[in-house]
Amino acid sequence: MSDMRLVLLSCCAPCSSGAIRQLADGQISGVSDFIVLFYNPNIFPESEYTKRMQEQIKYCEKLGVKYAVLEYDHDAWRDAVRGYENAPERGHRCSLCFEYRFRRAVKFARDNGYNAIASVLGVSRHKSQSQVDTSSQNVCDDVQYMPVTWDEGLRVQINRESDFYRQNYCGCEFSIRKV
Ligand code: SF4
């Protein structure tokens, strides 16, 4: 697709740093405009959500790229994954979580004149990129899903040079690692 007006669904600054830089530098062909979307009602507790959101905003503002932050509807997210609280990471709870976030991102894209969606939800080594791709394709229709493979080396390099706040669990209360 040419003239792609892209919504980049992001979970946090460390996962999105390379992707945002690539988009800002015009390295992804066909993208004429993009916005970073922070929509993560899965994150718990709210204080953790706020930390990740603030770090995301700081990085976007540093690079001078557009961003949007949507509602923190954690109770509704809990309803969406109900019955799968004890599923393992990469299990069905995560598919429901991805679909929930992509569904809202698609609505945001439609409402704001964007025609494509990409994400960094599969970037972490704890995640399955193919699971993210399948979940997004289940909910994207007229808004096209772009399964971009981001430059991992660039992301690692930026993160090494940055003092990002870094979390040690995916996001929801069920992913908090017991130490
Ligand atoms: S582990 Fe991560 S992807 Fe899976 S349900 Fe929790 S927040 Fe969502």
By alpha-carbon position, which residue is closest to atom 3 of ligand 1? Answer: 94
Q: Is the CB of 95 under 6 A from ligand 1?
A: no
pLDDT of 90? 95
Cα(32) to ligand 1 centroid in Å equals 31
Please indicate, yes or no, whether the overall pTM of this predicted structure exceeds 0.85: yes
Residues 137, 103 contacting (CB under 8 angstroms): no
What is the C-alpha to C-alpha distance for residues 15 and 152, in angstroms, rounded to an integer?
10
What is the pLDDT of the chain when averaged over all its residues?
Answer: 96
30 burial class (0-12, 13-18, 19+ CB within 10 angstroms)?
exposed
Please state, as a whole number, how many other Cβ atoms lie within 10 Å of the Cβ of residue 64. Answer: 7
By alpha-carbon position, which residue is closest to atom 6 of ligand 1? Answer: 172
Chain segment 6-49, per-residue pLDDT in tens? 999 999 999 999 999 999 999 999 999 999 999 999 999 999 99
Chain segment 46-59, per-residue pLDDT in tens? 999 999 999 999 99
Q: Is the CB of 118 under 6 A from ligand 1?
A: no
Taking the CA of residue 174 as reference, the ligand 1 atom at the shortest distance is 6
Closest CA to 173 of 56, 38, 78, 50: 78
Measured in residues, the chain has a length of 179
